[in-house]
């Protein structure tokens, strides 16, 4: 039997859907028994959510005041202390998991496989390299624990209907004081979350200004979509960093992705190629985005987007 | 602050479109342009700015040390680092592929010799996209990590680091020494000028080996196959917005 420990991502209130995607990935490990570990100041609410995810056998709560914010230097030694009973340790390839999992792997003295996109066996996986220009099949040593991050865009979220046990763990682990949380700034938005939205409208440098992005927000709100941006648009200051889609931003897999004024650099395409349908609107008919788009429209976005917004409701 | 170590990787240039070999044994690297990993270039730029600010504001002399692990030709990338302004460089020369955990142990061995106050790395290398080495190095060095930095402020023996995270921006404070991995928007690296390239030829570049540092480069993760990604089917071009809406409706998307 393989015992998989998933490090759950949450904000103290809501279990991040990335965790449910890790569960789906873990389920494809042959003969897997899945446990979700939750570290926080008070994980009662998120533990109940994790216990209801289909396929989860057990939920471990590690509540401690120091765990109020997910600092890798604080969490990693606690997870390393939990690891003894498990063969696999999975975390999502979100900024939370990418920061944390390698620190755990190094404490355990084992390598990590990043961005699992497919499971071919308990120790055999596929993952992208070179911004997704190549896919490698890798094999890890079954004699060692395997630490991995799960490329969340490659897996659907596990459903509900589970009834896992919930246990609280007290770990006698000394924690460092050298790393301290100061604060966070996030653009609060009522729009769907970019990483889990079914529809995403995304803008590029051709938008020309932060002001013009309002055009996209208005259209996105009409169709209930999240809003993303290319790296060029973020670098130019038209959109905040959390909206960036691509190799170094968010990698997403919505049902529909509408790329507006985005030329389609390979680093951007990496972030969207799991979208079911890609729609491209660009005035340059030769733009690389049209090579991957399912539907393309060549023209001026400043005329097309308002018209599109008007027509989709009719 | 006396010394900053910057870890640099030699990778296929950002602008090269990488292709997979037809026998699935790897990617084609023959004759391909190699460069400093772009994130590591940003890491070096940040170290140089801290050095320059220190010199200007309180006459401090911060040494910037560029280090790398790789084939003999990695000297080219370290010479670029020296031309940008690093004071000296060390190459840990090896022909073997080096996994992130091995790289972290190698950099730890160098850190133990050099005692830097700060180690900068790029958040990931654009070849294997692993995004592991900085975090692993911080773990085994038993020091703080501040990943995905978009702003770094050093005050005495502390660093306030603003990090790019999925929800937006997060600020943490770490005690030095610490490991900082950098994101794209931290700075824009300087261009190297010809006189700097000439000057860099005279700067010290030491070559050592994994053996000399007591590191064994085992392959714990084996790559058994390298394939091109699945291609998307080419789609249709519509003539106007009305037709676009029509197509999306037919697909059940709106």
Q: A10: helix, coil or strand?
A: strand
| Contact status of B197 with chain A (Cβ, < 8 Å) | no
Chain A, nearest residue to B126 by Cα = A130
Put simply, the answer to whether B128 touches A129 (Cβ < 8 Å) is yes
User: In terms of C-beta distances under 8 Å and separation of at least 24 residues, what long-range contacts does A98-101 make, across chains too?
Assistant: A98/A149, A98/B131, A98/B147, A99/A72, A99/B135, A99/B145, A99/B147, A99/B148, A100/A7, A100/A70, A100/A72, A100/A75, A100/A76, A100/B135, A101/A7, A101/A147, A101/A148, A101/A149, A101/B135
Confidence of residue A177 (pLDDT cuts 50, 70, 90): very high
Do A47 and A153 reside in the same domain of the chain?
yes
Which CATH number belongs to the domain containing residue A255 in this structure? 3.40.50.1220
Secondary element (H or E) of residue B110 = helix B100-114
Of residues A95, A295, A311, nearest to B238 (C-beta): A295
**Phi, psi (degrees; rounded to nearest 5) at A83:** -70, -20
- B3-250 under CATH 3.30.470.10, yes or no: no
Do A58 and A149 reside in the same domain of the chain?
yes
Contacts of B225 in chain A (CB under 8 A): 136-137
Contacts of B163 in chain A (CB under 8 A): 95
pLDDT at residue A90 greater than cutoff 70: yes
Do A52 and A98 reside in the same domain of the chain?
yes
pLDDT at residue A20 greater than cutoff 80: yes
Rounded-to-integer distance, Cα A159 and Cα A136, Å: 29
Do A264 and A120 reside in the same domain of the chain?
no
pLDDT tens digits for range A38-81: 999 999 999 999 999 999 999 999 999 999 999 999 999 999 99
Q: What residues make up the domain containing A130?
A: 2-168
Do A221 and A122 reside in the same domain of the chain?
no
- Please name every residue paired with B12 in a beta bridge, in sequence order, or none if there are none: B34
- Residue B241's alpha-carbon distances to A84, A307, B34, in angstroms, are 58, 7, 44
| Contact status of B28 with chain A (Cβ, < 8 Å) | no
Give the model's pLDDT for residue B233. Answer: 83
Do A160 and A221 reside in the same domain of the chain?
no
pLDDT at residue A158 greater than cutoff 80: yes
DSSP conformation class of B35: E
**pTM of the shown model:** 0.95
B129: left (phi over 0), alpha (psi -120 to 50) or beta: left
Interface probe for B, chosen from A97, A220, A237, A241 (most Cβ of B below 10 Å), is A241
Confidence of residue A186 (pLDDT cuts 50, 70, 90): confident
Confidence of residue B231 (pLDDT cuts 50, 70, 90): confident
Last residue of a domain, one of A168, A191, A222: A168
What average pLDDT does chain B have? 96
DSSP conformation class of A14: S
Do A6 and A132 reside in the same domain of the chain?
yes
Which CATH number belongs to the domain containing residue A9 in this structure? 3.40.50.620
pLDDT at residue B58 greater than cutoff 90: no
Give the model's pLDDT for residue A248. Answer: 84
Do A6 and A147 reside in the same domain of the chain?
yes
Rounded-to-integer distance, Cα A312 and Cα A194, Å: 21
Do A140 and A242 reside in the same domain of the chain?
no
Domain ranges of chain B: 3-250
pLDDT tens digits for range B97-108: 999 999 999 999
Rounded-to-integer distance, Cα B4 and Cα B177, Å: 10
pLDDT tens digits for range A291-300: 999 999 999 9
| Contact status of B194 with chain A (Cβ, < 8 Å) | no
| Contact status of B99 with chain A (Cβ, < 8 Å) | yes
Confirm whether A50 is domain-assigned: yes
- Residue A227's alpha-carbon distances to A69, A138, A255, A313, in angstroms, are 27, 34, 14, 19
Confirm whether A190 is domain-assigned: no
Mean predicted confidence (pLDDT) in A192-221: 96
Packing angle of the helix pair A95-108, B100-114 (nearest 10 deg): 70
Contacts of A312 in chain B (CB under 8 A): 245, 248, 254
Do A141 and A219 reside in the same domain of the chain?
no
Do A130 and A218 reside in the same domain of the chain?
no
Put simply, the answer to whether B170 touches A234 (Cβ < 8 Å) is no
Return the number of other C-beta atoms located less than 10 Å from residue A238's C-beta: 23
Last residue of a domain, one of A145, A168, A191: A168
Give the model's pLDDT for residue B234. Answer: 81
Chain B, nearest residue to A145 by Cα = B220
Cα within 13 Å of Cα(B86), Cβ side? 30
Give the model's pLDDT for residue A314. Answer: 63
Confidence of residue B163 (pLDDT cuts 50, 70, 90): very high
Length of chain B: 254
Put simply, the answer to whether A295 touches B225 (Cβ < 8 Å) is no
Chain A, nearest residue to B183 by Cα = A248
Spatial CB neighbours of A53, under 8 Å, sequence gap ≥ 6: A15, A19, A20, A23, A36, A158, A159, A160, A162, A164
Of residues B17, B100, B248, nearest to A133 (C-beta): B17
Mean predicted confidence (pLDDT) in B116-126: 98
Do A31 and A161 reside in the same domain of the chain?
yes
pLDDT at residue A313 greater than cutoff 80: no
* Nearest-neighbour CA in chain B from A222: distance (Å): 10
| Dihedral angle, C-alpha A15, A16, A18, A22, nearest 10 ° | -10
What average pLDDT does chain A have? 96
Angle at A41 between CA A36 and CA A44, to 5 degrees: 55
Put simply, the answer to whether A106 touches B139 (Cβ < 8 Å) is yes
pLDDT at residue A189 greater than cutoff 80: no
Angle at A202 between CA A150 and CA A196, to 5 degrees: 35
């Amino acid at each position: 039997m393989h015992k998989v420990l998933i490090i759950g991502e949450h904000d103290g209130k809501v279990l991040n859907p990335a965790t449910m995607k890790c569960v789906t990935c873990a389920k494809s490990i042959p003969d897997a028994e899945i446990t979700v570990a939750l570290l926080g100041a008070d994980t009662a609410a998120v533990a109940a959510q994790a216990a209801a995810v289909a396929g989860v056998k057990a939920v471990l709560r590690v509540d401690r005041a120091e765990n109020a914010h997910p600092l890798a230097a604080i969490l990693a030694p606690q997870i390393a202390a939990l690891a003894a009973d498990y063969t696999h340790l999975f975390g999502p390839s979100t900024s939370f998991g990418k920061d944390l999992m390698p620190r755990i792997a190094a404490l355990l003295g084992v390598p990590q496989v990043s961005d699992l996109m497919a499971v071919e066996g308990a120790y055999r996986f596929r993952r992208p390299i070179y911004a997704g220009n190549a896919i490698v099949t890798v094999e890890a040593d079954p004699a060692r624990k395997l630490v991995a991050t799960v490329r969340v865009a490659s897996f659907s979220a596990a459903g509900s209907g589970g009834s896992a046990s919930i246990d609280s763990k007290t770990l006698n682990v000394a924690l460092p004081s050298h790393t301290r949380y100061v604060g966070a700034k996030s653009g609060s938005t009522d729009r769907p979350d970019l990483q889990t939205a079914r529809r995403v409208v995304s803008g590029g440098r051709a938008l020309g200004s932060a002001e013009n992005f309002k055009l996209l927000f208005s259209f996105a709100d009409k169709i209930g979509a999240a809003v993303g941006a290319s790296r060029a648009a973020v670098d130019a200051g038209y959109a905040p960093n959390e909206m960036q889609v691509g190799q170094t931003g968010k990698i997403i897999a919505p049902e529909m992705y509408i790329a507006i004024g985005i030329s389609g650099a390979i680093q951007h395409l990496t972030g969207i190629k799991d979208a079911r349908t890609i729609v491209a609107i660009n005035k340059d008919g030769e733009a690389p985005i049209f090579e991957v788009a399912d539907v393309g429209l060549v023209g001026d976005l400043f005329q097309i987007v308002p018209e599109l917004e008007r027509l989709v409701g009719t | 602050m006396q010394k900053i170590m910057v870890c640099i990787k030699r990778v296929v240039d950002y602008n090269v479109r990488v292709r997979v070999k037809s026998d699935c044994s790897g990617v084609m690297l023959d004759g391909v342009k190699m460069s400093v990993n772009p994130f590591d270039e940003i890491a070096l730029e940040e170290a140089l700015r801290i050095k320059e600010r220190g010199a200007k504001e309180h006459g401090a002399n911060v040494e910037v040390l560029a280090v790398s692990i790789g084939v003999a030709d990695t000297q080219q990338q370290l010479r670029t680092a020296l031309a940008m302004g690093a004071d000296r460089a060390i190459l840990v020369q090896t022909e073997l592929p080096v996994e992130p955990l091995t790289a972290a142990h190698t950099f730890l061995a160098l850190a133990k010799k050099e005692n830097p106050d700060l180690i900068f790395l790029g958040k990931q290398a654009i070849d294997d996209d692993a995004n592991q080495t900085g975090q692993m190095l911080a773990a085994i060095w038993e020091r703080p990590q501040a990943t995905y930095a978009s702003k770094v402020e050093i005050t005495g023996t502390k660093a306030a680091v603003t990090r790019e995270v999925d929800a937006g921006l997060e600020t943490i404070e770490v005690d030095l020494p610490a490991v900082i991995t950098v994101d794209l928007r931290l700075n824009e690296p300087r261009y190297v000028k010809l006189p700097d390239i000439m000057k860099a030829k005279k700067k010290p570049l030491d070559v050592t080996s994994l053996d000399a540092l007591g590191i064994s480069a085992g392959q714990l993760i084996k790559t058994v196959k390298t394939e091109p990604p699945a291609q998307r089917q080419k789609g249709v071009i519509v003539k106007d917005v009305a037709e676009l809406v029509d197509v999306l409706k037919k697909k059940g998307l709106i």
